Chain A
């Protein structure tokens, strides 16, 4: 069972907007920076968002991150079939002295 809670799956139609939530505590999300990753098994995970809201170079602005209190959210607009993947949040947990990942959310573009 993960320290961070994500919905197991989300779905939306092409062109639509979807959000993925990541819920934690004051030990992790509440006081540290959140990162978001996309992962397709067989490939290396890809960093989408770091420090809650920042996009690495090369990540389109269709991807955005936000944080409020002990929860973080990844939003993806203009969904494409190529966005189908598993999405994970990650953050440092000061109580555990460890990086913790959310359980992951499978995105389906219908």
Chain B
């Protein structure tokens, strides 16, 4: 069974950084892309970026460029999402997603449970 288990809820102050982890099991970590998607209150799903765990290649959404960093530790079968310069607009639930499609085919069939990030002073 494919599972993606994310780290727990986070509370951060504005202008700080958060790191969310996503531990996968049930498949070969380096064989499939990991994407990150968030949903803020009252907003829709927003794609943040993708990581190829096999080689560390990344693509980021323009709206997060410079603030988000996606990495992976293949020895731990874990992906990470760092988001910096946090503002209250970053308050959202963040999801890691395994895509069984190619880089341009979003077959997002396995999702993490979500991590709530609250940014508040």
Contacts and interface: CB of A to CB of B under 8 A. Distances in A.
Nearest to A56: B109
A84 to B, nearest CB: 16
A99 B109 contact: no
A22 interface: no
Interface residues of B, number: 26
B45 A100 contact: no
B111 A104 contact: no
B22 interface: no
Nearest to A28: B104
A92 B39 contact: no
Interface of B: 35, 37, 39, 44-47, 50, 59-62, 93, 95, 101, 103-109, 111-114
25 contacts: A2-B44, A35-B107, A35-B108, A37-B45, A37-B108, A44-B111, A45-B45, A45-B95, A45-B108, A47-B107, A50-B109, A51-B105, A51-B107, A56-B109, A88-B44, A90-B45, A91-B106, A92-B103, A94-B104, A96-B62, A97-B59, A98-B47, A98-B60, A99-B106, A104-B44
